[in-house]
Structure 1
Amino acid sequence: MIAMQISAFKTFLAIETAGSFHAAARALNVTQTTVSARIKALEAALGTPLFERGPGGTRLSMAGRQFLPYAEQMMRTWEFVSGDLKASLAGQVPLRLGAQLSVWDPLLVDVAVWLEEVQGTVPFTLNYDHTMNMGEAVARRLLDVAIVNEVPPGTRLTAQELPPERLVLVADRPLRLGQDALPLFINLEFGAEYDAQLHDVLPARRRQHIVLGNALMGLRYLQGRGGMGYFPACMVAEALAAGALHLVQGAPEIHLSCRALHLPDNPALEHIRQVVRGLHEVRGG
């Protein structure tokens, strides 16, 4: 029964990606009749059509658009679960690492490399889905360790402090805060702690801003379009040294708390301790 449901979710997502039942059948290496049967069964279970067909191809219905994020989450969950079981049967304990903020994506890679160097070959999965609720993912055992800025209240999770993230205000041209006209501000929305510190530096009424949720994307936008924004010091160090970016004079640094979140009864606790040690090592703390 579960396998049939997973096949239906996978087929639904394949049609949404490919744009037609025929293209989805090719991508899944099944017949179009099989694709149609799976979707018909899924629509019957949900009690609503998920697709609309027209001259321009197949597109999601309103119900299909509402169902899409649930199907994506179900597939992610299934991949985590099935991957865990396969690895466990092979005598391996996989580590699943995630990060709340995009600024910590490189940190995931750095600690994965450190783990390989120190522990040898360690199976792991790096999760870059920043829409995922990291506290919930750890509590539900979808992730073993999550790097977070804010610890969810009222949980049984263990949070271990890591060196904070230093953010510096940079611009595409020399600026002095309080004296020069401010350019477009690129707001990466790093959470409540960031917002509180940012308000002390740049009150909302004094800044025009654009919101970009990914740090690397925001930096690329700044360098291509111009403007200013708070970015991790390590991320902009080379551009500052080369003169491609400039520190905004008179602007204080912002410090983001950084914590490693995990379950205290996780069976992979020894590996998790190694991960936390690695996070301290690669962050220099």
Structure 2
Amino acid sequence: MDINLARTFLEIVSSRSFAQAAEQLHVTQTAVSARVKTLEDLLGRKLFVRNKAGASMTAAGEQFVRHAMALVQAWEQARHQMTVPPGRRALVTVGCEISLWHPLLLDWLLWMRQGAPDLALRTEVGLAEDLLERVAHGTLDIVIAYAPRQRPGLRIELLIEEKLVLVSTTPGVQAPEAADYVYVDWGPEFSAQHSLAFPELSSVGVSSSLGPLGLEYLLTVGGAGYFRQNVVLSHVKAGRLHRVPGAPEFLYPAYAVYAANADMKVLQPALTGLRQVAAGRPAAKAQKTGGNVRKTRLSPPR
């Protein structure tokens, strides 16, 4: 089967529209319709019902989803392994949501350098929906995201039970003021909860969609804002930041998402590394044994 047929099918499933699928795939809508017709002829089943609202799957279409994902993922994995540099047994590609990469990805890269030196690594940072689409299609092996939605053929594993906490550069602050408040957009759920808790902070002078940028700005000019607890911990211990007593906390867990049919001989060391750094042990020293990771000594949590 032409792999583009499976890709086209999955794009329609994701967008629920032949027109949007054509736009995403950079082909004409006629080409999309032709690919679906070819796929339906090969399978001997009708896969979509088209209507004014877009396209919905038939029962046969729903059954074919996991097979289409497996086809695309297998092809992408094979294609990626052809680019493995000499001296490495496989390539692992990891994508991380923008708000979660720091310091998780760097700690993971350092862990992998010691724990799985036989693997080649590639990391990317981006928007959650784009990354999840790519792990579903096999162009990424693992995605780290906040509140990912469940999809057929994917496994979701909790990495960090993180919280967003209110901190200030001034000790003893009881409530933040709009004039020196730095608002970080941690997503729609945080925005809704934040608006209920702090209606007076609905309009502030400085806002950012990137947590590390907002934190560096706060540390430089002063003020208050919500940031990830594990990230600000060292600043709180050093006295550069102070927890605002009695302020509400907001859950912000991080999850690892990967294909259910992934080659675990390749992914297991990468997942082990993510679990270790998520638990606060980024400097783990390990030895590779038969494709697995055996830990010989762990540095104490930071």
Category of TM-score, reference length = shorter chain: 0.5 to 0.7
Q: Structure 1: how far apart are the matches of 2:85 and 2:207?
A: 42
Q: Tell me: CA distance 1:201–1:174, structure 2 relative to 1, closer, same or farther (3 Å).
A: farther
1:99 corresponds, among 91, 96, 104, to 96
Question: Is this contact kept in 1: 2:158–2:254, CA < 8 A?
Answer: yes
> Please, which runs of 5 or more residues in structure 1 have no aligned partner?
1-79
Question: Is this contact kept in 1: 2:162–2:230, CA < 8 A?
Answer: no
Give the TM-score taking structure 2 as reference length: 0.59
Residue range with higher mean Cα deviation, 196-205 or 95-104: 196-205
Question: Is this contact kept in 2: 1:164–1:257, CA < 8 A?
Answer: yes
Matched residue, 1:262: 258
1:81-230 map, 5 Å: 84-87=81-84, 92-130=89-127, 133-178=130-175, 181-203=177-199, 208=204, 210-230=206-226
1:240 corresponds, among 236, 242, 266, to 236
Matched residue, 2:271: 276
Q: Structure 2: how far apart are the matches of 1:256 and 1:209?
A: 24
Q: Which amino acid aligns with 1:120?
A: P
Q: Which amino acid aligns with 2:120?
A: P
Q: Tell me: CA distance 1:177–1:209, structure 2 relative to 1, closer, same or farther (3 Å).
A: farther
1:252 corresponds, among 224, 248, 252, to 248
Q: Structure 2: how far apart are the matches of 1:188 and 1:81?
A: 39
Q: Structure 1: how far apart are the matches of 2:205 and 2:82?
A: 46
Shift of 1:88: 7.8
Q: Structure 2: how far apart are the matches of 1:175 and 1:200?
A: 23
Q: Structure 1: how far apart are the matches of 2:122 and 2:213?
A: 23
Query: Secondary structure, in 3 states, of the residue corresponding to 2:126?
Result: coil
Shift of 1:258: 1.3
Shift of 1:163: 2.3
Question: Is this contact kept in 2: 1:185–1:227, CA < 8 A?
Answer: yes
Matched residue, 2:34: none
Matched residue, 2:289: none
Shift of 1:216: 1.6
> Aligned residues: percent identity?
25
Give the TM-score taking structure 1 as reference length: 0.62
Q: Which amino acid aligns with 1:269?
A: M
Shift of 1:159: 0.7
Query: How many residues are aligned here?
Result: 205
Question: Is this contact kept in 2: 1:167–1:253, CA < 8 A?
Answer: yes
Shift of 1:234: 2.6
Shift of 1:162: 1.7
Please identify which structure carries the higher strand content. 2
> Please, which runs of 5 or more residues in structure 2 have no aligned partner?
1-76, 281-302
Q: Tell me: CA distance 1:130–1:175, structure 2 relative to 1, closer, same or farther (3 Å).
A: farther
